[in-house]
Structure 1
Amino acid sequence: MTDVPARLLYVGWTGQGNLGDNAIADALLPRLPGVEPWHVPHEPRAFARRVVADGLRGARERAVLVGGGTVVGRRNWRLLLEATGRLLAWRRPWHLIGIGVEDPAFQGRNSFSAGGELARWRGLCARFDRVTVRGPRSAALLESVGVPAEVVGDPALLHEPEPVAPQEKLLGVNLGFGDDLWGHDHGRVVEAVADLVRGLAADGWTARFLVINRKDRVFADEAVRLAAVPAEIRAADTVPEYFAAVGDCTALVAERLHALVLAAAAAVPVVGLEYQPKCADFLASVGAEEHCVRTDRVTPGLLREHVDALAEGRAAESARLLGEVGELRARLRDELARIRDGAELTGSAR
């Protein structure tokens, strides 16, 4: 151990009202003693204020921890991390766990991944002791530019709720996306989900819409209006609230990535509305890629086929998910132990 305790600077998109990014931080920070209790600002002026205030003090002893999210392959994140390395965190190596890689096959309005961006990450990735990623597509993308990577899963899988008995014919639904989506037409997705909910209601199902980002409430409201059947809308601002809302669902049809991740953590069978490749990447990590529907190909009939199949085999699919997630949790815990040792952190961890 060194005389000066090593510190990790957590780089993550947190405090922005998005449950997924907060879920990653909430899963990691309590398990890594010695992490500084602030998160790197992403807005340039806020970053500058941090540097001017006291950012240089302790920079020599400070290393970076990237805790997850779709970071690698995005120009904005590369510039942020390079600035962090110059001004705030000089210690090497840096650390990361279970990050996602932006797939250049998708070019949305704010992808920041065009022009061979991924190849520009080779040097930055060399600053990390090793690279672990969310899913197999992320690993393949990095390996295509000469960066070896290992799949350990999304860090939010570390959340482990108590098991809940499922209700019969209760469909969980989550709608919401980031900067853009396959097909660039979210109205089509909302209409397809509304048709699905209406058709299921005719067969005795009920629907519960789960909102994990407050700006997504409009999509739930519109889907319920179009479906023209009674449905519950429940906001979940914290991980425990989300587990309480999703745990007893027969199945979940979800668009937001971490609506899928946390449902899998609760062993709830999922149908993924793949608005960007990161959703398929995660579903592949838990062996559920067959239940992934791209948003430019979604139809009510296709969604109904997936829901019916999952409902019929609910117990088996839940048990299968539990096994897949359990294996990834073990990898994540091993990785956290390695980071604690490598960063010379002390203290207990759960």
Structure 2
Amino acid sequence: MTDRTLPNVVFLGTHGQHNIGDELLLETFLNQFGSGAHYVINTYDTEFTAAQLGNRYSFELIDTARGRRSLLRHLWRADRVVFGGGSIVKELYATTGRNRYATLLMVLAIALFTRRVARRPVSMLNIGVGPITTPAGTRLARLILRQMDLVTVRDQGSLDLCRALGVDAELAADAVFSASAEWLLGGSKKERRPGPLRMGLNLNYAIENPANWDHFTSHLAQALRRLAGSHSLEIHALPMQSRFKDHDDASVLRSFADRLPGIRFVHHTPSTPGEAARIIADCDLVVSERLHAIVMASILDVPAFVLAYDVKVRELSSALALDDYTVDINRPFALEVLAGPLAALVDDLAAARERLAEPVAELRHRAVEAFAVARAWTQQEAEPIGAVAPAPAGASRS
């Protein structure tokens, strides 16, 4: 669906990789920005993203892998360019199998073209910054962020890093905290069903220290077997990515289930944020690595035990006051460090739900306020910045 009379917003992110967190960010930003713009959206799977968005917005899609010339033409004639949410300014872990600086270099190329060649207004909204651990990564991150007209970040660690880089940024929250439980679920939340203790479990192989994976998963399996000895436990797989890459969450969870003989393990393969949200809402607690599984659980009033694999998840844990129910899975730890707090959380679920209310309300307030600023920025009439360079072949401002 396309309406050429609307302002033209190029919206960039990691879409179409069948990662529920990234698809949820796209849904959240468009829901908050509304139908008053025409969106140009990059995606690795145009058919999937087109089906996801339906006819709710005026949009067109660019194939992220094969549509680079098209992207340049759209950047040239954009009214606004937005990098929306996610860990955009970061070095990659070895488990990705990619060059440490691949994402930084790709984002830098887009940022420099947008700002210095096309001279269009560009922002990064509700983003995560980091991990950045090398001098080269530091230089790349600083250069990227200095091209931006507006930067809002989702956590205090990202804000501190921006300040260390000499970049002005505003503290917001993860964009999804702007959402209501009803919006996530696509309807009203149902009462919890009686029955066994239902645990949503997410695992993500791409951790900061892959050498600790076997140690971590062995201790997790032991802790869950111990918990099953004192509770009627039913585990529900909560993969946030079930395809697109090797060692996707669904594959990892299927393999992990083999370590839990005698424990009922229900496999799910959600393909949309709504499907994942409904699995979470039907659980008593969530044990998760993935950030957006924890975010959704918090909004849905489901306590989370945090498996901190990454700086962004550690920051979220602190923001939700979940430090007592968090274990750093990148370093060796004694079994009791995981099993003890997990058992304590299970025995204190009602109080844990009550403790979520205040931090979730604060994060929602920050997210809503940040979107008000972002909407005002996107709705300003855009003027090219400084002198305008010659247009790329086949492009025009109209």
Partner residue, 1:69: 86
In the alignment, the residues of structure 1 paired with residue 358 and residue 351 of structure 2 have an alpha-carbon distance, to the nearest angstrom, of 11
In the alignment, the residues of structure 2 paired with residue 228 and residue 54 of structure 1 have an alpha-carbon distance, to the nearest angstrom, of 50
What pairs up with 1:3-22 in 2 under 5 angstroms? 6-22=7-23
1:133-163 CA distances to partner (integer Å, 9 max, x unpaired)?
1211111222222223333211122332244
Conserved 8 A contact 2:324-2:341: no
| Corresponding residue to 1:306 among 310, 334, 341 | 341
Which stretch of the first structure deviates more once superposed, 122-131 or 45-54?
A: 45-54
- Count how many residue pairs are aligned between Structure 1 and Structure 2: 333
1:152-178 CA distances to partner (integer Å, 9 max, x unpaired)?
211122332244544562222111133
Q: Which has the larger radius of gyration?
A: 2
Partner residue, 2:76: 59
Shift of 1:228: 0.8
In the alignment, the residues of structure 2 paired with residue 169 and residue 153 of structure 1 have an alpha-carbon distance, to the nearest angstrom, of 31
In the alignment, the residues of structure 2 paired with residue 195 and residue 35 of structure 1 have an alpha-carbon distance, to the nearest angstrom, of 51
Whether 1:78 and 2:98 are equivalent positions in the alignment is no
Partner residue, 1:147: 167
Conserved 8 A contact 2:114-2:120: no
Which stretch of the first structure deviates more once superposed, 145-154 or 240-249?
A: 145-154
Whether 1:274 and 2:308 are equivalent positions in the alignment is yes
Shift of 1:293: 0.8
In the alignment, the residues of structure 1 paired with residue 65 and residue 349 of structure 2 have an alpha-carbon distance, to the nearest angstrom, of 51
In the alignment, the residues of structure 1 paired with residue 161 and residue 345 of structure 2 have an alpha-carbon distance, to the nearest angstrom, of 30
In the alignment, the residues of structure 2 paired with residue 282 and residue 21 of structure 1 have an alpha-carbon distance, to the nearest angstrom, of 16
Unaligned runs of 5+ in 1: 105-112
1:56-89 CA distances to partner (integer Å, 9 max, x unpaired)?
2561434321111111244333322333245567
In the alignment, the residues of structure 2 paired with residue 117 and residue 249 of structure 1 have an alpha-carbon distance, to the nearest angstrom, of 40
Amino acid in structure 1 at the alignment position of 2:208:
L
| Corresponding residue to 2:226 among 199, 202, 214 | 199
Conserved 8 A contact 1:92-1:127: no
Whether 1:177 and 2:205 are equivalent positions in the alignment is yes
Amino acid in structure 1 at the alignment position of 2:105:
L
Partner residue, 2:28: 27
| Corresponding residue to 2:258 among 221, 225, 228 | 225
Partner residue, 1:190: 217
Which stretch of the first structure deviates more once superposed, 181-190 or 12-21?
A: 181-190
In the alignment, the residues of structure 1 paired with residue 335 and residue 79 of structure 2 have an alpha-carbon distance, to the nearest angstrom, of 51
What pairs up with 1:20-169 in 2 under 5 angstroms? 20-32=21-33, 33=35, 34-39=37-42, 49-53=66-70, 55-56=72-73, 59-74=76-91, 75-87=101-113, 90-104=118-132, 113-162=133-182, 163-166=189-192, 169=197
SS of structure 2 residue aligned to 1:226: coil
SS of structure 2 residue aligned to 1:184: helix
Shift of 1:49: 4.8
In the alignment, the residues of structure 1 paired with residue 136 and residue 365 of structure 2 have an alpha-carbon distance, to the nearest angstrom, of 34
Which stretch of the first structure deviates more once superposed, 166-175 or 335-344?
A: 166-175
In the alignment, the residues of structure 2 paired with residue 277 and residue 97 of structure 1 have an alpha-carbon distance, to the nearest angstrom, of 18
Aligned pair in 2 of structure 1 residues 306, 128: CA closer, same or farther (>3 Å)?
same
Whether 1:344 and 2:379 are equivalent positions in the alignment is yes
Aligned pair in 2 of structure 1 residues 345, 313: CA closer, same or farther (>3 Å)?
farther
Amino acid in structure 1 at the alignment position of 2:370:
E
Amino acid in structure 1 at the alignment position of 2:272:
T
Root mean square deviation of aligned Cα: 2.9
Whether 1:257 and 2:291 are equivalent positions in the alignment is yes
Which stretch of the first structure deviates more once superposed, 232-241 or 57-66?
A: 57-66
Aligned pair in 2 of structure 1 residues 24, 177: CA closer, same or farther (>3 Å)?
farther
1:180-199 CA distances to partner (integer Å, 9 max, x unpaired)?
43352322222222222211
Aligned pair in 2 of structure 1 residues 148, 55: CA closer, same or farther (>3 Å)?
closer
Conserved 8 A contact 2:205-2:252: no
Whether 1:328 and 2:363 are equivalent positions in the alignment is yes
Shift of 1:325: 1.9
In the alignment, the residues of structure 2 paired with residue 265 and residue 139 of structure 1 have an alpha-carbon distance, to the nearest angstrom, of 23
Partner residue, 2:57: none
In the alignment, the residues of structure 2 paired with residue 299 and residue 19 of structure 1 have an alpha-carbon distance, to the nearest angstrom, of 32
User: Where has structure 1 moved over 6 Å in runs of 4 or more?
Assistant: none
Shift of 1:280: 0.2
Unaligned runs of 5+ in 2: 46-61, 92-100, 183-188, 243-247, 382-398
1:231-255 CA distances to partner (integer Å, 9 max, x unpaired)?
2122222111111111132222111
Aligned pair in 2 of structure 1 residues 289, 99: CA closer, same or farther (>3 Å)?
farther
Aligned pair in 2 of structure 1 residues 80, 64: CA closer, same or farther (>3 Å)?
farther
SS of structure 1 residue aligned to 2:85: coil
Amino acid in structure 2 at the alignment position of 1:38:
I
In the alignment, the residues of structure 1 paired with residue 169 and residue 347 of structure 2 have an alpha-carbon distance, to the nearest angstrom, of 37
In the alignment, the residues of structure 1 paired with residue 232 and residue 161 of structure 2 have an alpha-carbon distance, to the nearest angstrom, of 40
